[in-house]
């Protein structure tokens, strides 16, 4: 999305520390400060703030400017501190209140975009399909994907179908939808979705994997008598792709030899850097060279292909764990 001049100016301020930004703005009037504050609020709500965008803006304004990203930075915290430094706490609170009102009038979905995924799913549960479709269309694409994936199948299908024909929804209806959903969001503030079955079984799997082998197998046998599918899931969840960093180096080295380089190349596509580093540090130079060659020749794998490949990489580790031969350094 192309940034406007005002958005670029506002985003440039976020590269500076609040005290320096305050000094630059001290000569401005209250209305100008409100306008910049509103641009910052909208950048935050629309998900436009990122280190990459900051660098783009910084280079555009001054090629010699060096970017320094502060840890734990949030636009809201920066804005609050900047305003307090300029006009004092009491006046800053008044400006913030006015900015919020102005921002909501200009964009009624601004507060909805700042809600987390779990809160949004809970707030949309049981809502009219048009409401769900409009809210999804107003969210940043990544958050919209996350919310959509957590809705029930019927709502997913109907919402996607409705999103293809939203041009007939008037601005008045959109504002009413935003108001309704925002009020519901208030009741779900801080709420989280219930754990999924896989998350619950994963916890059980980790508990069982820490027991003596004979006790572990006996308890798994008890589960199998009750539900064979659940017992199989628990066994598989004892060792997953995400466990690779916690596997002892020697154990990993022994079993990585059996993994084909073409399969490993697919499995490592888009992998976490920690997992990638762990694997690369535990394969031979020859295997690493073969892996690099496969990566250079490989096309873009689908998500399903990546997940299948990762599951194949983990199979020998699961088998070793079954035999009590896999060693962990901690999870």
Q: How far is CA 78 from CA 16, 81, 82, in A?
A: 10, 5, 6
Closest by CA to 240, choosing from 215, 266, 206, is 206
Q: What is the mean pLDDT of the chain?
A: 81
* Domain range summary for the chain, segments of one domain joined by +: 5-107, 112-187, 195-238, 240-331
For the chain, percent of residues with pLDDT exceeding 70: 72
Residues 6+ apart with CB under 8 A from 322: 235
Residues belonging to the chain: 331
Residues 6+ apart with CB under 8 A from 246: 328, 329, 330, 331
Query: Does position 11 have pLDDT exceeding 80, yes or no?
Result: no
Please tell me the class of the 240-331 domain: mainly alpha
Phi, psi of 328 (to 5 degrees): -110, 150
Q: By CB neighbour count within 10 A (0-12 exposed, 13-18 middle, 19+ buried), where does 83 fall?
A: buried
Query: Does position 69 have pLDDT exceeding 90, yes or no?
Result: no
Q: Where are the alpha helices (DSSP H) in the chain?
A: 5-13, 18-25, 30-45, 51-61, 75-87, 89-106, 110-113, 117-124, 129-138, 141-150, 153-163, 171-187, 197-209, 213-226, 228-237, 249-256, 261-267, 273-280, 285-297, 303-322
**What is the arithmetic mean of pLDDT over 131-157?**
93
Task: Specify the pLDDT at position 242.
Answer: 92
Tell me: the pLDDT tens digits for 253-310? Answer: 888 888 899 999 999 998 988 999 999 999 999 999 999 999 888 888 998 999 999 9
Q: How far is CA 275 from CA 48, 205, 231, 244, 280, in A?
A: 29, 21, 27, 6, 9
The pLDDT-based confidence of 198 (bands split at 50, 70, 90) is: confident
Query: Does position 73 have pLDDT exceeding 50, yes or no?
Result: no
Task: Specify the pLDDT at position 2.
Answer: 62
Query: Does position 86 have pLDDT exceeding 60, yes or no?
Result: no
Lowest-confidence range among 44-58, 130-144, 208-222, 312-326?
44-58
Domains 112-187 and 240-331 share a fold: yes
**C-beta atoms surrounding 274 within 10 Å:** 11
Tell me the two tokens of residue 304.
Answer: 């399903």
Q: Which CATH code is given to the segment(s) 112-187? A: 1.10.220.30
Tell me the two tokens of residue 178.
Answer: 């935003």
Q: Which of the pair, 26 or 236, is modelled with greater confidence? A: 236
Phi, psi of 73 (to 5 degrees): -70, 140
Angle at Cα 273 formed by Cα 205 and Cα 268, nearest 5°? 75
pTM of the model: 0.49
């Amino acid at each position: 999305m192309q940034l406007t001049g005002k958005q670029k100016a506002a985003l440039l301020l976020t590269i500076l520390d609040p005290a320096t930004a305050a000094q630059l703005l001290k000569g401005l009037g209250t209305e100008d400060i409100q306008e910049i504050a509103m641009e910052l609020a909208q950048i935050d709500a629309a998900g436009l703030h990122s280190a990459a965008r900051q660098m783009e803006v910084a280079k555009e304004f001054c090629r010699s400017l060096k970017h320094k990203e502060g840890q734990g930075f949030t636009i809201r915290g920066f804005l609050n501190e900047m305003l307090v430094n300029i006009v004092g706490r009491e006046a800053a609170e008044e400006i913030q209140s006015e900015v919020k009102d102005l921002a909501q009038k200009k964009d009624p979905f601004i507060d909805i975009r700042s809600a987390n995924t779990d809160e949004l799913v809970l707030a949309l549960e049981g809502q009219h399909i048009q409401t769900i479709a409009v809210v999804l269309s107003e969210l940043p694409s990544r958050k919209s994907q996350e919310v959509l994936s957590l809705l029930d199948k019927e709502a997913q299908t109907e919402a996607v179908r409705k999103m293809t024909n939203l041009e007939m929804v008037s601005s008045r209806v959109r504002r009413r939808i935003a108001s309704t959903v925002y009020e519901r969001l208030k009741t779900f503030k801080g709420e989280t979705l219930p754990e999924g079955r896989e998350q619950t079984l994963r916890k059980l799997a980790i508990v069982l994997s820490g027991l003596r082998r004979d006790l572990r197998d006996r308890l798994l046998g008890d589960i199998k008598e009750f539900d064979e599918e659940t017992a199989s899931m628990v066994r598989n969840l004892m060792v997953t792709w995400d466990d690779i960093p916690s596997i002892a180096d020697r154990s990993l080295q022994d079993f990585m030899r059996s993994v084909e380089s073409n399969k490993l190349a697919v499995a490592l596509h888009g992998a976490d850097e920690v997992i990638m580093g762990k694997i690369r540090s535990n394969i031979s130079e020859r295997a690493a060279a073969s892996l690099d060659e496969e990566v250079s020749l490989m096309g873009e794998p689908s998500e399903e292909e990546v997940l299948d490949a990762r599951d194949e990489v983990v199979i020998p580790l699961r088998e070793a764990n079954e035999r009590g031969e896999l060693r962990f350094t901690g999870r």
